[in-house]
Chains A and B, each alone.
Chain A
Amino acid sequence: MTNTVTHKHVHDDQDHKTHGLKRWFYATNHKDIGTMYLVFACVLFFLGGAMALVIRAELFQPGLQFVDPGFYNSMTTMHALLMIFGAVMPAWTGLANWMVPMQVGAPDMALPRLNNFSFWLLPFAFTLLLLTLFVPGGAPAGGWTLYPPLSLQAGDSFPLTIFSIHLMGISSILAAINVIVTILNMRAPGLGLLNMPLFCWTWLITAYLLIAVMPVLAGAVTMLLTDHFFGTAFFTASGGGDPVMFQHLFWFFGHPEVYILILPAFGVISEIIPTFSRKPLFGYQSMVYATASIAFLSFIVWAHHMFTVGMPLAGQLFFMLSTMLIAVPTGVKVFNWCATMWKGSISFETPMLFAVAFLFLFTMGGLSGLMLAIVPADFQYHDSYFVVAHFHYVLVPGAVFAIMAGVYYWLPKWTGRMYNEKVGKLHFWLSAIGVNVLFFPQHFLGLAGMPRRIPDYSTQFADWNSVSSVGAFIFGFSQLLFVYVIWSAVRSGEKAAVRPWESARGLEWELPTPAPYHSWETPPSQGVIAKGSMR
């Protein structure tokens, strides 16, 4: 190291928390930044949820009652963008911020200032996006997939949408770099890769996917921008371009993106089920390999989102078969979770309830995905409510339930306080019932032929639509309970035990409760690592 003499004067106060606003604006602490991510995700979850309720209120009956069709289309578009990029992805990054350093035996993320940069890009990105609601022409209304030529016909919202996606992309890439470097470089000496908690593994692979595909989305939306403003012809057939090319580029990003949303969920579930089954995870290594296989396959299945655009038969066959292959590693995971519970001494605290619901309901979403993978069947299902039901099953009782499970599971370690188990369970049951009333009927609607992204519908769809809307309001309002239960735990929860869950494994549980500001200031000893090791 150069100039080692002069550094005597350097006193970077690492112990001292900065206080007041500076603690948050200038943050370098992984827990503070994680908290900001989680709070941000929660706010956007409610904003996106409010938009979903506008949609479901409009669809409660046939005919137009509350909003005009243009605004309705803006709601579906904005709901998707907010939930994917504003709620689920930041929630995962928040959990990664909290848990990865604790689980790998590090004091913090590898690149703490970059970490703060990734977070603070998000509020500005979503300010840009939400501003579109107030510009001439209204918010983007062509669907979150931004297919041209429709998306090119947007009003002043167009560049705002594009640039907000650029900012979100930069944020995601920087966060992903941080996670990878933390896991690969900050692991405590002696903690092997195959001894890490699965949450770290799934996030490692997720981060790889993020770095690989977010730039492709950035490139694709940049082409939209230049087609709109600078006369390029990427997506204009008369100039030799092709609008379908955008769909290929978009889904080359889009399909790995759905695994970006769900892989960390696999990690959380793989931590919670063993804890509450009081057994080690069945098939740890096969879980890791299954995750890696899913990530690999996610790059070669993208065109199953566009079977109806008229691609060559060979393409349809290839993408159908590669998509079905994903069922194999996913099946390995579901089998392993079931085998972990088999003959376990199971108890059903709130995190476990969410995890078991995930196991059932995510699998259902996976099975409807398998139906959609079949080309001739997809010709019927495409762009119908069946698709809406499918991806909401994997995203809501899939990703969102896993996020909530993770928050309930780790909250005592974070805050040193226990949540109210009764209210937690009430929140679970209302959510689980609400989500099924909300989304299950949409399978029937889709199979009966109801198209998605339509504010009005034929009267034969009326009954199941009103059922679905009732479910939406039950599910939506019961999430206020989630905020209440977290808030009351943080404010006045009972003191949590050092080991709130007696059979939980992983290095994070070897820290005091609540976890110290800088998680592991010195690397954990070999004994501690052995105790916290997953195998």
Chain B
Amino acid sequence: MANAHASEHAADKYYVPHSSPWPIYGSVTLFVFMIGLCGWLNEWYGPWVFSVGVLMLVGLFVGWFAVVIGEHQRGIYNMQVDKSFRMGMMWFIFSEVMFFAAFFGALFYARQLSVPWSGGEGVKIFNKLLLFPEYSATWPTNGPAALGPRVDGSFEVIPAFGVPAINTAILLLSGVTITIAHHALKESNRRILNIFLAATFLLGFLFVGLQAEEYILAYTELGLTLSTGIYGSTFFMLTGFHGVHVTLGAIMLLVIWFRTMKGHFTPQRHFGFEAVAWYWHFVDVVWLGLFVFVYWV
């Protein structure tokens, strides 16, 4: 094929993108990011290399996406490429689901198996008799050694029907607003699109803000930290990774909002919008799992 735009004039021709410096730049970026983190954790040097890595990462996202958005706006991508992007995004979200599955797996394993075993359940009676005679295996727990910041080993949990319930409502509502925005986009109602998309990311950032407040409360008043035994570990790693995903999702929504304000996307072609919407629904569903299994039951 002579050049890219041939692909759309002749439907029987394939589209192949031109070569790009971004993948190798991305690899170098992740290398700097990670070796920076290693050096920081190992106390070889401070956070400086890591900071450079973070800046490079921002550059990676801005630069690479700018190229792709530009190519999309110039109409280089045909429908087959569009479909490849869609499938790619779905499988990427599936990989994210499996990442969270590992942490949910850890939570279920601890609650259903290892904590009761530590308390001497079933054939593990010798744990009770010999190892941890004082320990009563209930959930939430910070283990037989009662790990955590407080001297007496106690800690409190965040009740489900306070801020977490409000956060649930916020995320569910944001799922509704993005759907309204999507329908507006399909019906070329740009005003409704812009308003409801803005509402969606504002709800997202509100969620993150409330979570941050809960974290501060947990660390300062409840004795609940990352090192509060298995409860603190699963609580903060699950809600923390979720919070990171919500933050990223909200930033993605913000970028999409800038694009809709600039008049990007058509009722027929709006892969970027849909990809971010899928991602948003994904963090929403993960939150429902968290609300039920981490906060509630």
- Nearest-Cβ distance from residue B17 to partner chain A, whole angstroms: 6
Measured between beta carbons, the chain B residues less than 8 angstroms from A111 are: 84-85, 88
Interface size on B, residues (CB 8 A): 86
Q: Is the CB of B3 closer than 8 A to any CB of chain A? A: yes
Q: How far is it, in angstroms, between the C-alpha of A151 and the C-alpha of B140 when the chains are bound?
A: 28
- Nearest-Cβ distance from residue B10 to partner chain A, whole angstroms: 8
- Contact A523 B96, CB 8 Å, known A117-B26, A215-B102, A252-B105: no
Interface stretch of the complex, out of B31-39, B182-190, B207-215, B277-285: B31-39
Q: Is the CB of B227 closer than 8 A to any CB of chain A? A: yes
User: Smallest CB-CB separation from B77: which chain A residue?
Assistant: A1
Contact indicator B27/A120 (Cβ below 8 Å): yes
- Contact A107 B142, CB 8 Å, known A4-B8, A177-B88: no
Measured between beta carbons, the chain B residues less than 8 angstroms from A272 are: none
Contact indicator A521/B13 (Cβ below 8 Å): yes
- Beta-carbon contacts under 8 Å, A37-80 to B: none
Pick from A3, A163, A227: contact of B75, CB below 8 A.
Answer: A3
- Contact A166 B34, CB 8 Å, known A216-B101, A223-B237, A230-B227: yes
Contact indicator A170/B114 (Cβ below 8 Å): no
Chain A CB within 10 Å, residue with most, of B17, B30, B145: B30
Contact indicator B5/A241 (Cβ below 8 Å): no
Contact indicator B96/A215 (Cβ below 8 Å): yes
A11-33 vs B, CB cutoff 8 Å, 1 = contact: the mask equals: 11111001000110111100000
- Contact A120 B24, CB 8 Å, known A160-B38, A177-B88, A216-B99: yes
Contact indicator B23/A233 (Cβ below 8 Å): no
Contact indicator B99/A215 (Cβ below 8 Å): yes
Interface stretch of the complex, out of A242-250, A331-339, A493-501: A242-250
Q: Is the CB of A429 closer than 8 A to any CB of chain B? A: no
Measured between beta carbons, the chain B residues less than 8 angstroms from A15 are: 1-2
Contact indicator B99/A219 (Cβ below 8 Å): yes
Q: How far is it, in angstroms, between the C-alpha of A37 and the C-alpha of B172 when the chains are bound?
A: 44
Q: Is the CB of B42 closer than 8 A to any CB of chain A? A: yes
Contact indicator B84/A239 (Cβ below 8 Å): no
Contact indicator A1/B2 (Cβ below 8 Å): no
Pick from B12, B236, B269: contact of A1, CB below 8 A.
Answer: B269
User: Smallest CB-CB separation from B7: which chain A residue?
Assistant: A14
Measured between beta carbons, the chain A residues less than 8 angstroms from B95 are: 173, 177, 211-212, 214-215
Contact indicator B230/A234 (Cβ below 8 Å): yes
A106-126 vs B, CB cutoff 8 Å, 1 = contact: the mask equals: 111011111011001101100
Measured between beta carbons, the chain A residues less than 8 angstroms from B42 are: 135, 156, 159
A172-209 vs B, CB cutoff 8 Å, 1 = contact: the mask equals: 01001110110011100000000000000000000000
Q: How far is it, in angstroms, between the C-alpha of A415 and the C-alpha of B27 when the chains are bound?
A: 29
User: Smallest CB-CB separation from B14: which chain A residue?
Assistant: A107
Measured between beta carbons, the chain A residues less than 8 angstroms from B91 are: 176-177, 180-181, 211
Measured between beta carbons, the chain A residues less than 8 angstroms from B34 are: 128, 163-164, 166-167
Measured between beta carbons, the chain A residues less than 8 angstroms from B101 are: 215-216, 219
Q: Is the CB of B61 closer than 8 A to any CB of chain A? A: no
Contact indicator A8/B102 (Cβ below 8 Å): no
Q: How far is it, in angstroms, between the C-alpha of A159 and the C-alpha of B12 when the chains are bound?
A: 49
Contact indicator A28/B18 (Cβ below 8 Å): yes
- Contact A10 B3, CB 8 Å, known A114-B23, A181-B88, A220-B102: yes
Q: Is the CB of A386 closer than 8 A to any CB of chain B? A: no
Contact indicator A26/B20 (Cβ below 8 Å): yes
Measured between beta carbons, the chain B residues less than 8 angstroms from A160 are: 35, 38
- Nearest-Cβ distance from residue A387 to partner chain B, whole angstroms: 25
Chain A CB within 10 Å, residue with most, of B8, B17, B24, B78: B24
User: Smallest CB-CB separation from B33: which chain A residue?
Assistant: A163
20 A-B contact pairs sorted by A residue (CB < 8 Å): A1-B75, A13-B18, A14-B4, A14-B16, A15-B2, A110-B84, A113-B17, A116-B20, A116-B24, A117-B26, A177-B92, A180-B87, A181-B87, A226-B233, A236-B147, A239-B147, A240-B229, A249-B105, A518-B14, A521-B14
